[in-house]
Amino acid sequence: MRISAARKMAPMTLVRAARAAATAQALAFQAHDKWVKAFKKEYGHDDISDPLVEAIDYCRGDKSALTREFIAANSEPGKS
């Protein structure tokens, strides 16, 4: 099957979407790295519990549930 010349390049809408996704991912990575470093500084380890990973890494649940109490209650090592 031969690909026509017009199909050799991706459409600009796809390029813009890819660039936007790459930018958003870079910002998300930086924010996540900052969170892990702050957690490690506060609690002395980076063994982040499953409930925190679910809430932060996988965006599951209500973000308003990320309270001081919830984070403290899920901050002990060995809960992952």
What residues make up the domain containing 61? 11-73
- Alpha-carbon distance 68 to 61, whole Å? 16
Instruction: Tell me which residue of 76, 49, 54 sits closest to 65, measured CA to CA.
Output: 54
- Alpha-carbon distance 60 to 35, whole Å? 17
Residue 3: phi and psi, rounded to 5, are: -95, 130
Q: What is the mean pLDDT of each run of 10 residues along the chain (80 residues)?
A: 69 96 97 96 94 92 91 86
What pLDDT does 5 receive?
59
Give the count of domains, the chain: 1
What pLDDT does 54 receive?
93
What pLDDT does 23 receive?
97
What pLDDT does 41 receive?
97
Q: Give domain status of residue 80, yes or no.
A: no
What pLDDT does 77 receive?
86
Q: Give domain status of residue 51, yes or no.
A: yes
What pLDDT does 18 receive?
97
- Alpha-carbon distance 47 to 77, whole Å? 5
Q: Give domain status of residue 3, yes or no.
A: no
What pLDDT does 10 receive?
93
